[in-house]
Amino acid sequence: MNGGSLIKTILNRPTRRSKLNRRLRRRQRLRKLASGTLMTAALTSIVDVLAVEPRWVKIKRVNVPIPNLPPVWDGVRIVQLTDLHLGKFVSLDYIRKIVKRTNVLSPDVIVLTGDFVNDGNTIVDGLERVLSALQSKFGKFAVLGNHDHWAGAGAIREVLDKAGIVDLSNKSALLERDCEQICFAGVDDLWTATQDLSGALKDIPEEVPRILLSHNPDYAEEMPPSPRVDLMLCGHTHGGQFKVPFGSRLWLPIRHSKYAAGLVEGPHCLVYTSVGVGMVGLPIRFNCRPEIPIITLRQR
């Protein structure tokens, strides 16, 4: 090899510095790629939390076994609406869409378990007209929530009455089909009112199945063992509105986290807690879509 070729070979040979520069450039590209991926994921999550999930309502189907349920009532379908929270983050048009979706389900019974409005400024005539459009075969029943009491219980009860919805706060109603009965009862809100379960069920025959409405599921821990209740339907929790995947929920306004969402066994009866359709506090939902449950009663 002559001298010129040797010099050319040496010049063309990768130096330690050039190798280091290539490694640095590669790391920079990887960092940019990782940053871009994280930024995209963050933006997607923000859009989901603020714009997608809060209005992405799902239909949830739940079968519940009830002891001594008469055959004629086997398969009766109860649609539950809860925590509408008409107000800053929930429009009347959104509630109108919820009502339309509910009617499409052809429910036998509709129950509404409180927090119709967020505050007193959102008790509007339009809410009465929208709720009056709800359609069911055997009846529409409700109890009030803590926000309803804070907003004005009398005004909310007037809205319900004009909408053809029966207020069951510390009361009951018997439904009859082919001479067989089933009872729907309710108690008033745990935080802001008095609960009189005995008064609500005092005239109900012992053999008749009892479905109890209570806004706050913590009442399951405070209710007396008698009179008997077979199933309690609740709301209030919103499911926390933000649930970490495989982890905890952001916020739960209850003492007993087992009642955060879904069907669980309470001390005296089964308890179903719906995550509801509205929002309060932060206008977000994540991994906790709003829901319209269809609860089908079955013979045990």
| Domain ranges, residue 102 | 57-299
Q: pLDDT per residue over 8-45, tens digit each?
A: 555 555 566 677 777 777 777 766 655 554 454 434 44
Q: Answer with the residue of higher pLDDT: 91 or 42.
A: 91
Number of H helices, E strands in the chain: 7, 12
- pLDDT at res. 24: 73
Determine, yes or no, domain membership for 153: yes
Q: Answer with the residue of higher pLDDT: 120 or 275.
A: 275
Determine, yes or no, domain membership for 10: yes
Does residue 185 sit in the same domain as residue 290? Answer: yes
Does residue 151 sit in the same domain as residue 27? Answer: no
Does residue 43 sit in the same domain as residue 63? Answer: no
Is residue 88 scored above 60 in pLDDT? yes
Does residue 100 sit in the same domain as residue 218? Answer: yes
- pLDDT at res. 234: 98
Is residue 193 scored above 50 in pLDDT? yes
- pLDDT at res. 22: 76
Does residue 104 sit in the same domain as residue 200? Answer: yes
Does residue 9 sit in the same domain as residue 138? Answer: no
Determine, yes or no, domain membership for 230: yes
Task: Give the CATH number, domain containing residue 289.
Answer: 3.60.21.10
Q: Binning pLDDT at 50, 70 and 90, where does residue 248 land?
A: confident
Determine, yes or no, domain membership for 73: yes
Task: Go through 107-117 and write b for each residue having 16 or more CB atoms within 10 A of its CB, e for each that does not.
Answer: bbbbbbbbbbb
Does residue 262 sit in the same domain as residue 193? Answer: yes
Does residue 254 sit in the same domain as residue 172? Answer: yes
- Sheet harboring 180-186: ordered strands across? 172-177, 180-186, 210-213, 231-234, 270-273, 262-265
Q: Binning pLDDT at 50, 70 and 90, where does residue 6 land?
A: low
Cα separation, 135 vs 288, in Å, equals 27
Does residue 78 sit in the same domain as residue 43? Answer: no
Cα separation, 81 vs 64, in Å, equals 17
pLDDT average, residue stretch 118-133: 92
Start-end of H helices in the chain:
3-12, 16-47, 92-104, 125-131, 146-162, 197-201, 219-222
- pLDDT at res. 153: 97
The answer to whether the beta carbons of residues 214 and 184 sit under 8 Å apart is: no
Does residue 163 sit in the same domain as residue 252? Answer: yes
Does residue 73 sit in the same domain as residue 220? Answer: yes
Is residue 250 scored above 70 in pLDDT? yes
- pLDDT at res. 14: 56
pLDDT average, residue stretch 80-92: 96
Pull the structure tokens for residue 59.
């239909």
Between strands 172-177 and 180-186, the pairing is antiparallel
- pLDDT at res. 251: 87
pLDDT average, residue stretch 248-265: 95
The answer to whether the beta carbons of residues 258 and 222 sit under 8 Å apart is: no
Cα separation, 217 vs 195, in Å, equals 13
Is residue 98 scored above 60 in pLDDT? yes
pLDDT average, residue stretch 289-297: 98
pLDDT average, residue stretch 249-272: 96
The answer to whether the beta carbons of residues 218 and 191 sit under 8 Å apart is: no
pLDDT average, residue stretch 274-290: 94
Q: How many CB atoms neighbour CB 296 within 10 A?
A: 15
Provide the domain count of the chain.
2
Helix (H, G, I), strand (E, B) or coil at 16: helix
Determine, yes or no, domain membership for 52: no
Does residue 64 sit in the same domain as residue 19? Answer: no
Nearest to 178 by CA among 141, 138, 212, 140: 138
Element (H, E) at 139: strand 139-142
Is residue 48 scored above 50 in pLDDT? no
